[in-house]
Amino acid sequence: MSGVAQRLEMVRNIMREQRVDAWIVNGSDPHVSEYVAPRWNTRSWLSGFTGSAGTIVVTLDKALLWVDSRYYIQGAQQIAGTPIELMKLDAPSVPDHVQWLASNIPANGVVGIDGLTMTVSATKALASTLSKKEIALKYTGDWFDSIWKDRPAVPSGSVNQMDSAVAGFSAEAKLQKIRQSCSELGCTHTIVSSLDDIAWILNLRGSDIPYNPVFLGYLLIGGQDAVLFTNPDRFTAQLKADLSQYVVVREYHDVHQYLGSAFSETDVVYYSPDKTTVRIRESIPASIALVEGRDISTTLKARKSPVEIEGMRRAHVLDGIAMVKLLAKVSRNSETYNELTIAELLVACRKEHEEYLGPSFSPIAGFGAHGALAHYSATVDSSAVLEGNNLLVLDTGGQYKTGTTDITRTLLFGEATEQMRKDYTLVLKGNLSLAAQRFPAGTNGYQLDVLARQFLWQTGYNYGHGTGHGLGFCLNVHEGPQNISTKPIAVPLEVGMVISDEPGVYREGLHGVRIENLVVVQHAGTTEFGEFLAFDVLTLCPFERRLVDTNLLTEAERQMVDAYHGWVYSELSDKLSQDDAAWLREATLPL
């Protein structure tokens, strides 16, 4: 019996003991984090699938893994040879896991969930669907503690304080703004579970989750006070003294008991059902009034202040320097690289500046067929040598003292085929079209998504992932609430929001293409029709000229590429060595 099969059987043994017909594993943590600390890599431990998103359902005779289009290929590869069946979300005739449970679990059956990691909103939706089929929902707790014998401990890494001059506002000012908004909503308190929100509010940065400078904690904000639940031993004496001026620190595991007695009968608690787990919600007495909505801090955090934007610009200059150093070195060097070594070389280039703190996510370096896996992760065994005639999708990012970066460039090794050039140019046209668009204030991201896809669609091509995600300030590389995708999410783009522009196309077994720049939303003037907004590009790195088919570009698009390249050269050339500046000059010549 394989390791996965043995683990599934351990789960089923508990299911039989507790009379549960199906158990859901969402791979999340108590804070609904996209990327989790090793302790909560439960989905990966159980199935072998290492992607950042997916849901497992275990029944007494089946196991199924649902993944979105980013992970169709990777998911199939990683669960091959196991008893787990792959379910492709959004594929024709494929139900999601809730629909599947409603259709396959008999009436009077029981579905188990871990209330410590399942959100209130997800649980409500699940319960609503299952109840129509007379299927019960049971909070089982965390079974992995009993079956995962060498499970990593709850992390408690170091925490650093960010200077208000870098953050833009003091923690006290942010707390006061949240209190004001909370009061306007008719509430006395708000409970915050989201780790990047807590880090942003308190101007703290941690080390509990790889790549994401956050720390485990909960934050309860009242009208006059605030309580942070985390391990207080992680703080230096000086930081404890600083924090004591505006927040009380209590033990991380005290949160549930504390919430049970923290409120008076007249209090009203505001919380986000999308970011709060059932366990936290049920810790608050039923007699206390609750108001649901998006975390107040989430929108404040998304709208970057002028100080934060300037910091992001500086981080992108430093990142652009590192990217140019890498590209120049690879072009001059006869050495043969592989997917791992080229990613390591880029990290080395970034490390040359003292403001670089580390990667903002695990690098994606996919050569040839690996580039068709949108979120491919190279291993020692899989790392392809960069030789022959093919494309490398290089998607990486950095954490700097003044900002977070995320950039994708598709690079040519050898000679390009006509199809490669066509794919690249159509993706480039979409990237340019979105970046250049003016739009009325109040426009949602999904209303702009087609701009990036239009040239692909006209040719019968498409891509399965979103076009753009928000980005944190010295925080998570993925941040909401804004995004740009085909999903009709009603979140208007606002001044100060940073978002990615990353169309792509992926040919299974052959190659992939993705081009990603970060942009910031800015004012673009007011007409008799109202206020208009536009994007300003932050990313500084040339496109792959050898892949551009100028016959597919309009004159306006050529001018856009030339203007972008001229800006890249003017911003970076005087900060590079003579050789690297010479390479950049060639890379940014007019088309």
Q: What is the CATH number of the domain that holds 77?
A: 3.40.350.10
pLDDT confidence tier of residue 204, bands split at 50, 70 and 90: very high
DSSP designation for 153: P
Same domain, residue pair 193 and 142? no
**Closest listed residue to residue 307, CA positions, set 176, 164, 470:** 164
Sorted by sequence, the CB contacts under 8 Å of residue 242 that are 6+ apart come out as 161
- Give ∠ CA 383-360-322 in degrees, rounded to 5: 75
Same domain, residue pair 87 and 195? no
* 155: in domain: no
Sorted by sequence, the CB contacts under 8 Å of residue 149 that are 6+ apart come out as none
Same domain, residue pair 274 and 314? no
Q: How many structural domains compose the chain?
A: 3
pLDDT at 334 over 80: no
Written as one letter, the residue type at 510 is L
pLDDT at 487: 94
56 Rama sector, left if φ>0, alpha if ψ -120 to 50, beta otherwise: beta
Q: In what order do the strands lie in the sheet with 189-192?
A: 248-250, 226-229, 218-221, 189-192, 268-271, 289-292
DSSP designation for 528: T
**CATH, residue 433:** 3.90.230.10
Same domain, residue pair 455 and 465? yes
Residues 518, 537 contacting (CB under 8 angstroms): yes
Alpha-carbon distance 409 to 403, whole Å?
A: 20
Q: Which of 255, 272, 301 is the last residue of a domain?
A: 301
Alpha-carbon distance 38 to 152, whole Å?
A: 6
Same domain, residue pair 335 and 475? yes
Of residues 69 and 468, more confidently modeled: 468
In 359-398, which positions are buried (b, 16+ CB within 10 angstroms) versus exposed (e)?
A: bbbbbbbbbbbbbbbbbbbbeeeebbebeeebbbbbbbbb
Alpha-carbon distance 60 to 306, whole Å?
A: 55
pLDDT tens-place string over residues 458-493: 999 999 999 999 999 999 999 999 999 999 999 999
Other C-beta atoms lying within 10 Å of the C-beta of residue 132: 9
* 61: in domain: yes
Same domain, residue pair 113 and 10? yes
pLDDT confidence tier of residue 2, bands split at 50, 70 and 90: confident
**Closest listed residue to residue 228, CA positions, set 207, 238, 242:** 242
Written as one letter, the residue type at 144 is F
**What is the average pLDDT score of the chain?**
97
Same domain, residue pair 288 and 389? no
Other C-beta atoms lying within 10 Å of the C-beta of residue 459: 13
* 153: in domain: no
pLDDT confidence tier of residue 455, bands split at 50, 70 and 90: very high
Same domain, residue pair 398 and 251? no
Specify the pairing of strand 226-229 against strand 248-250.
Answer: parallel
Same domain, residue pair 467 and 388? yes
pLDDT at 412 over 90: yes
* 152: in domain: no
pLDDT at 1 over 60: no
Record the tokens describing residue 307, joined without a space.
């100080």
pLDDT tens-place string over residues 382-402: 999 999 999 999 999 999 999
Torsion angles phi and psi, residue 233, rounded to 5: -70, -15
pLDDT at 543: 99
Record the tokens describing residue 508, joined without a space.
């299974």
Residues 479, 458 contacting (CB under 8 angstroms): no
* 194: in domain: yes
pLDDT tens-place string over residues 352-374: 999 999 999 999 999 999 999 88
> Average pLDDT in the 39-65 region?
96
* 96: in domain: yes
Q: Which of 301, 326, 346 is the last residue of a domain?
A: 301
pLDDT at 347: 98
pLDDT at 460: 98
Could you list the beta-strand ranges (E) of 45-193.
Answer: 55-59, 63-67, 85-88, 110-113, 136-139, 160-161, 189-192
Record the tokens describing residue 199, joined without a space.
């880090």
Same domain, residue pair 371 and 411? yes
pLDDT tens-place string over residues 160-175: 999 999 999 999 999 9
Q: Which of 301, 327, 362 is the last residue of a domain?
A: 301
* 388: in domain: yes
DSSP per-residue letters across 530-584: EEEEEEEE-------GGG--GGGS-HHHHHHHHHHHHHHHHHHGGGS-HHHHHHH
In 495-522, which positions are buried (b, 16+ CB within 10 angstroms) versus exposed (e)?
A: eebbbbbbbbbbbeebbbbbbbbbbbbe
pLDDT at 69: 85
pLDDT confidence tier of residue 222, bands split at 50, 70 and 90: very high
pLDDT at 16: 97
Same domain, residue pair 262 and 361? no
pLDDT at 63 over 70: yes
| Percent of the chain scoring above 90 in pLDDT | 96
Same domain, residue pair 307 and 297? no
Q: What residue numbers bound the domain in which 265 lies?
A: 160-301
pLDDT tens-place string over residues 546-586: 999 999 999 999 999 999 999 999 999 999 999 999 999 99
The whole-angstrom distance between residue 204's C-alpha and the CA centroid of its chain comes to 19
Sorted by sequence, the CB contacts under 8 Å of residue 418 that are 6+ apart come out as none
pLDDT at 111: 98
pLDDT at 288 over 60: yes
Burial class of residue 165 in the structure, from the number of CB atoms within 10 Å of its CB (0-12 exposed, 13-18 middle, 19+ buried): exposed
pLDDT at 123: 97
pLDDT tens-place string over residues 509-534: 999 999 999 999 999 999 999 999 99
Alpha-carbon distance 45 to 50, whole Å?
A: 9
Alpha-carbon distance 391 to 515, whole Å?
A: 12
pLDDT at 52: 87
pLDDT at 539 over 90: yes
pLDDT at 41 over 70: yes
What number of residues does the chain have?
591
DSSP designation for 162: P
